Chains A and B, each alone.
Chain A
Amino acid sequence: MIANKIVLRFSSSLVEQAIIYHLVKDFDLVINILKADINPHKEGYVVLELSGDSENYNRGLEYLKNVGVVVEPLSGTIVWNSERCLQCGACTTFCPAGALYMTEPDRKVHFDGSKCIVCESCLLVCMARAVEVRF
């Protein structure tokens, strides 16, 4: 039995194909979709938890690679855009790791990526959408 969180990246030609269906139907894998998006160029990604019998799991990954899907392990990174930041500081109350913090007396917001635990709490509270998670 193998269970992993992975990111699948689809080119625009792959986005319209029923690839997830084949993972379930042909390889008997269990899928839990955590996040998915398609951009205006019709390229897409899906973050999912994939689990199943180890032989089926490996065959499933082989299938994905053969059809051209890029498979990556999930490793999220929070990106803070200082230009978009309104400098209000709302995020600093919500960041449990102290990665987003405010300095005194200038009351400016800063981000220390090395402290970030990618909990995504900041995504909920940033009204300027100055933080985003990238996989």
Chain B
Amino acid sequence: MAVEKTYAEINEKIKKGKAVIVTAEEIIDLVREKGVEKAAREVDVVTTGTFGTMCSSGAFLNFGHSQPRIKMNKVYLNGVPAYAGLAAVDAYIGATALPDSDPENRVYPGRFLYGGGHVIEDLVAGKEVKLEAFGYGTDCYPRRHIETRITLESINEAFLFNPRNAYQNYAVAVNLSDRTLYTYMGVLKPRLGNASYSTSGQLSPLLNDPFYKTIGVGTRIFLGGGIGYVAWHGTQHNPCTTRGENGVPLEGAGTLAVIGDLKQMSPAWLRGVSYTGYGASLAVGIGIPIPILNEEILRYTAVSDAEILAPVIDYSSAYPERDPEVLCRVSYAELRSGRIVVRGKEVPTTPLSSYAKAREIALILKEWIEKGRFLLAEPVQPLPSAEAGIILKGLEEKNNR
């Protein structure tokens, strides 16, 4: 008889301490050993994890009202501008925001030592952060300037809201030109000197649920060391891309918008990062549980690095020029071996997301569920999937008439 389970049944088992939880790595061997049907019957949840730079991240903050009140029009946190086009004392600090004083790439390649991601890390680390805000003065908000210090504890609300995280697969970056490139895929040595890649492969959340059959709006997740939720499909969600026979996309496809209480999080899983010559950002830790509702879902979670292919793209020309040329496709097993072959040349691979930390997240989430402190949430709405007909648009130039 086919295996069929519901979220409610799995949650009941979790509450009784009887649920069987394994990580997305552990399930691979288990399926090889026991077969799909037996494994699906035995296992209730597979946990996934990923820890790497996710530029489209940031936090909403409510500072509370000063006396007299101010309608904040411009907000700076440790000198980094936050978006204040909201209500009087709310702001959104973006991970890639830079202080006005940052030399950026004027002295190339710039170092980008401190940005929005570092402000978020400092806040979750409990450090004091300098808040400077300017207002234009109104009858209800007469004050025009305030300079003070805040901590995560001292402000009202602080929640992470990341519009595009957990990319489902991603390109491998190489450099065919004769000069070193400084990119968001790290430093790329000339003449195919190295190949950068950035997902946790067989541990990565959306690679274990390629058609978003369990991950949807409302899914409860591990986010930055605390508990968060999938809020929506992420920006640039591109589910209708080419897929392999196993359903795994052959390039960047689905993305997630995620939300969670910053006050629960930890700098171990939210870390400000600086990419030489590119900019500042935030490394985010995300873990997503996948309920084994049936054999089909289990089969997806058993995907291994050898079965996940990523396109190799030249970042000296094809990528910046939006040319779709793919040099070749390589598996995550090859990428993790340390060397791939591109145009007949053996190229060392540079990992940008941490496999060790992804594994740690999957294990933490497994422990949370085993101890009954984390229950699965059934999505209230599925994410657009392969049949949605989404076509990712580019931006075309239109001249003013």
Interface residues of B in 226-265 (CB under 8 A from A): none
Q: Which residues of B contact A127 (CB under 8 A)?
A: 53, 186, 273-275, 281, 283, 352
Contact A90–B53 (Cβ < 8 Å): no
A129 close to B (CB within 8 Å): yes
B350 close to A (CB within 8 Å): yes
B333 close to A (CB within 8 Å): no
What is the chain A residue whose CB lies nearest that of B184? A127
A125-B276 CB under 8 A given contacts A89-B351, A90-B351, A93-B348: yes
Complex CA gap A124/B186 in Å reads 9
Q: Which residues of A contact B349 (CB under 8 A)?
A: 93
Of the residues B109, B186, B281, contact of A90 by C-beta under 8 Å: B186
What is the chain B residue whose CB lies nearest that of A88? B354
Contact A88–B52 (Cβ < 8 Å): yes
Interface residues of B in 181-218 (CB under 8 A from A): 186-187, 194, 196
A86 close to B (CB within 8 Å): yes
A86-B51 CB under 8 A given contacts A93-B194, A128-B273: yes
Interface residues of A in 80-95 (CB under 8 A from B): 86-90, 93-94
Complex CA gap A108/B351 in Å reads 12
Count of B residues near A, CB < 8 Å?
28
B357 close to A (CB within 8 Å): yes
Interface residues of B in 313-328 (CB under 8 A from A): none
Contact B356–A106 (Cβ < 8 Å): yes
Q: Which residues of B contact A115 (CB under 8 A)?
A: none
Of the residues A94, A106, A108, A129, contact of B187 by C-beta under 8 Å: A94
Complex CA gap A94/B353 in Å reads 16
Contact B113–A93 (Cβ < 8 Å): no
Contact B352–A90 (Cβ < 8 Å): yes
Contact B186–A89 (Cβ < 8 Å): no
Q: Which residues of A contact B186 (CB under 8 A)?
A: 90, 125, 127
B220 close to A (CB within 8 Å): no
Contact B350–A93 (Cβ < 8 Å): yes
A90-B196 CB under 8 A given contacts A124-B187, A125-B187: yes
A42 close to B (CB within 8 Å): no
What is the chain A residue whose CB lies nearest that of B359? A107
Q: Which residues of B contact A128 (CB under 8 A)?
A: 271, 273, 283
B355 close to A (CB within 8 Å): yes
Q: Which residues of A contact B53 (CB under 8 A)?
A: 127
0 or 1 for each of A28-42: is its CB under 8 Å from B? (1 = yes): 000000000000000
Interface residues of A in 39-91 (CB under 8 A from B): 86-90
Contact A107–B355 (Cβ < 8 Å): yes
Complex CA gap A127/B281 in Å reads 9
Of the residues B196, B283, B350, contact of A86 by C-beta under 8 Å: B283
Q: Which residues of B contact A86 (CB under 8 A)?
A: 51, 271, 273, 283, 354, 357
Expressed in whole angstroms, the minimum distance between the Cβ of B121 and any Cβ of chain A is: 10
Contact A87–B354 (Cβ < 8 Å): yes
Contact B283–A90 (Cβ < 8 Å): no
0 or 1 for each of A106-129: is its CB under 8 Å from B? (1 = yes): 111100000000000000110111
Complex CA gap A127/B283 in Å reads 9
Using a CB–CB distance below 8 Å, which chain A residues touch chain B? 86-90, 93-94, 106-109, 124-125, 127-129
Using a CB–CB distance below 8 Å, which chain B residues touch chain A? 51-53, 109, 113, 186-187, 194, 196, 271, 273-276, 281, 283, 336, 348-357, 359
For the A-B complex with A88-B353, A127-B273 known, give 15 more contacts whose Cβ atoms are closer than 8 Å: A86-B51, A86-B354, A87-B356, A88-B351, A90-B186, A90-B351, A90-B352, A93-B349, A108-B356, A109-B356, A124-B109, A124-B276, A125-B186, A127-B274, A127-B275
